[in-house]
Amino acid sequence: METNQFLGNEPVGRLMGRYAVPCIISLLVGALYNIVDQIFIANADYLGSYGNAANTVVFPLTVIALAIAVMVGDGCCAYVSLSLGRKEFGCAKKSVGNAVVMILAGSVALCAVYLIFEEPIITMFGGTVNETTFRYSEEYFFWISLGIPFYMFGQAMNPIIRADGSPGFAMVSTLLGAGINIVLDPVLIFGCRWGMTGAAVATVIGQIVTAALALGYLLRMKLLRPEGGDFRIDGKIAGRTLTLGLTSLLSQLSLVAAMAAINNMIRKYGAADAVFGQEAYAQIPMAVVGIVMKFFQIVISIVVGMAAGCIPIAGYNMGAGLKHRVRSLFSMLLAAEAAVGALAFLIVELLPGRLILIFGAANESAYYTDFALRAFRIYLCMIVPACVNKACFIFLQALGKAAESSALSMVREIVFGVGFALLFPHFWGLDGVLYSMPVSDALTFLIAVVLILRAYAELKEPEKGGSYAAETMREARL
């Protein structure tokens, strides 16, 4: 039986690079589906900010699909890694089989819900800002809904493939799908002039390719290939898998709740604004905030990629009792996350004008540019602690601390994210929507510091004598 014993032997820095880099690229490329759509939509003169606003409306609905997918995929990845560390290979394989069944059932159900309740769902996420935005949202949402099963299967399998020891394949499968989307977007939007339909169809085709590659890998997995009986749902294993993935689910779903609150506050207080209350400019605030969120998504894809890439390493070493290696890994991760946040902070504070030009600002009014500059600088001013917060959520999950991780995520997105988004606009109008995010991140960081220090204390092992290398070799033989 092939094992992942190297996860307990190789230097953690090397392992972090080996697993985190492909994971970062996979998530970045996955994020590019929606971001690339928005870039091409924004630069199509017949779509412009109306199309951008429609993309912003639909974006949270794709996040719901992603939330379910990552709950199953990340939960399975964490369960598999802990099981392999304990040499429980049968449980690891059954978790994969159960995960496949759960994601297939969940994706088909969500697709049906989206298609049946399309109009009220779009309305719930602020699509009624004006008639054109609503029409574009319906067009885009219909085709995106049809691709939900392929999207969810590919996203759920990605962390499972990493847990099987193939982070490179996980990266390549996502890269290929996104590359197809990038090629087809300009062809269908500018060449065929299919508008929002073209953007959505290009996305779905790319997702189908990624899902097909993931299915092919499933049938020839190196270590975790499930057999017939592994696809029969085991309540205990499925429950533990979902529990370990709960943080990922709540993190994404709570983000959706915050987006819904933000979109509706933008619609409400934009209508009361002297400029954006006019029909010709009503879609601008929603389009702009969507663009800011897309940049934030790029940064968070890097941050989450680093942390998620560490899940197999942390899980295996926790399962094997090698806490000193987990502690070292956590230190490296926190330092790397803070560095990414610092670089992103410099970009949004010094170069916001360059960022908005990518999303078609040259074709828009001065009101669009002014609001975009303000939005970038306010909304993302606490991006450094936001990055550390995300690392804390995911690493606690990898350590099996699902309750603490989930609670912290819920506090950030629901208590602070939704609460402040609903409260602040009463005092500061549209600017209140922008201030809600940095305040939420700053307060969450204070709580995260306490949990980080507690985790460090629990990971601190007593001295056992002997050299580090000798101890590692002894533990590897056990």
Kindly compute the dihedral angle of the four CA atoms of residues 346, 311, 165, 331, in this order, to the nearest 10 degrees.
60
Q: Provide the residue type at 202 as one letter.
A: A
Tokens standing for residue 363: 């074709």
Question: What are the start-end ranges of the E strands in 89-188?
Answer: none
Confidence at residue 48, expressed as pLDDT on a 0 to 100 scale: 81
| Three-state SS at 364 | coil
In sequence order, which residues have a C-beta less than 8 Å from that of residue 223 and are 6 or more positions away? 1, 2, 3, 4, 84, 89, 92, 164, 165
Integer CA distances (angstroms), 331 to 169, 257, 316, 400, 407, in order: 27, 31, 17, 18, 22
Integer CA distances (angstroms), 333 to 121, 210, 389, in order: 38, 28, 12
Confidence at residue 462, expressed as pLDDT on a 0 to 100 scale: 55
| Three-state SS at 291 | helix
Mean pLDDT of 439-467: 80
Distance separating alpha carbons of residues 47 and 195, to the nearest angstrom:
7
pLDDT tier at 309 (50, 70, 90 boundaries)? confident
pTM (predicted TM-score) = 0.73
Average pLDDT of the residues of the chain: 86
Least confident stretch, 6-15, 355-364, 365-374: 355-364
| Three-state SS at 61 | helix
Judged against a pLDDT cut of 50, whether residue 467 lies above it is answered with no
Confidence at residue 447, expressed as pLDDT on a 0 to 100 scale: 94
- In this structure, the number of other CB atoms found within 10 A of the CB of residue 172 comes to 17
pLDDT tier at 397 (50, 70, 90 boundaries)? confident
Judged against a pLDDT cut of 50, whether residue 477 lies above it is answered with no
Most distant pair of Cα atoms in the chain: their distance: 74
SS3 string, the chain, reads: CCCCHHHHCCCHHHHHHHHHHHHHHHHHHHHHHHHHHHHHHHCCCCCHHHHHHHHHHHHHHHHHHHHHHHHHHHHHHHHHHHHHHCCCHHHHHHHHHHHHHHHHHHHHHHHHHHHHCHHHHHHHCCHHHCHHHHHHHHHHHHHHHHCHHHHHHHHHHHHHHHHCCCHHHHHHHHHHHHHHHHHHHHHHHHHCCCHHHHHHHHHHHHHHHHHHHHHHHHCCCCCCCCCHHHHCCCHHHHHHHHHHCHHHHHHHHHHHHHHHHHHHHHHHHHHCCCCCCCHHHCCHHHHHHHHHHHHHHHHHHHHHHHHHHCHHHHHHHHHCCCHHHHHHHHHHHHHHHHHHHHHHHHHHHHCHHHHHHHCCHHHCCHHHHHHHHHHHHHHCCCHHHHHHHHHHHHHHHHCCCHHHHHHHHHHHHHHHHHHHHHHCHHHHCHHHHHHHHHHHHHHHHHHHHHHHHHHHHHHCCCCCCCCHHHHHHHHHHC
Confidence at residue 3, expressed as pLDDT on a 0 to 100 scale: 54
Tokens standing for residue 355: 């960022």
Q: Residues 3, 223: contact at Cβ < 8 Å? A: yes
* Placement of tokens 């996860």 in the chain: 7
Q: Residues 291, 52: contact at Cβ < 8 Å? A: yes
User: C-alpha angle with apex 316: 152 to 254, nearest 5 degrees?
Assistant: 40
More confident position, 86 or 425? 425
Q: What are phi and psi of 456, to 5 degrees?
A: -60, -40
Least confident stretch, 78-87, 364-373, 408-417: 78-87
Confidence at residue 134, expressed as pLDDT on a 0 to 100 scale: 93
Mean pLDDT of 395-408: 79
Q: Provide the residue type at 427 as one letter.
A: F
Least confident stretch, 36-50, 239-253, 420-434: 239-253
Q: Residues 162, 312: contact at Cβ < 8 Å? A: yes
Confidence at residue 475, expressed as pLDDT on a 0 to 100 scale: 37
More confident position, 301 or 107? 107
In sequence order, which residues have a C-beta less than 8 Å from that of residue 303 and are 6 or more positions away? 337, 340, 341, 387, 390, 391
Could you report the per-residue pLDDT of 188-230, keeping only the tens digit for each? Answer: 999 999 999 999 999 999 999 999 999 999 998 888 888 888 8
More confident position, 113 or 82? 113
Judged against a pLDDT cut of 70, whether residue 476 lies above it is answered with no
Mean pLDDT of 129-149: 93
More confident position, 2 or 209? 209
Confidence at residue 472, expressed as pLDDT on a 0 to 100 scale: 36
Counting Cα atoms < 13 Å in the Cβ hemisphere of 448 gives 26
Tokens standing for residue 174: 């996502």
Instruction: Give the highest mean pLDDT range of 131-145, 290-304, 391-405.
Output: 131-145
Distance separating alpha carbons of residues 345 and 295, to the nearest angstrom:
11
Distance separating alpha carbons of residues 129 and 233, to the nearest angstrom:
44
Instruction: Give the highest mean pLDDT range of 77-86, 205-214, 223-232, 271-280.
Output: 205-214
More confident position, 432 or 174? 432
Question: Residue 279, exposed/middle/buried by CB under 10 A (0-12, 13-18, 19+)?
Answer: exposed
Least confident stretch, 149-158, 225-234, 351-360: 351-360
Confidence at residue 463, expressed as pLDDT on a 0 to 100 scale: 35
Distance separating alpha carbons of residues 15 and 103, to the nearest angstrom:
28
Least confident stretch, 19-28, 191-200, 280-289: 19-28
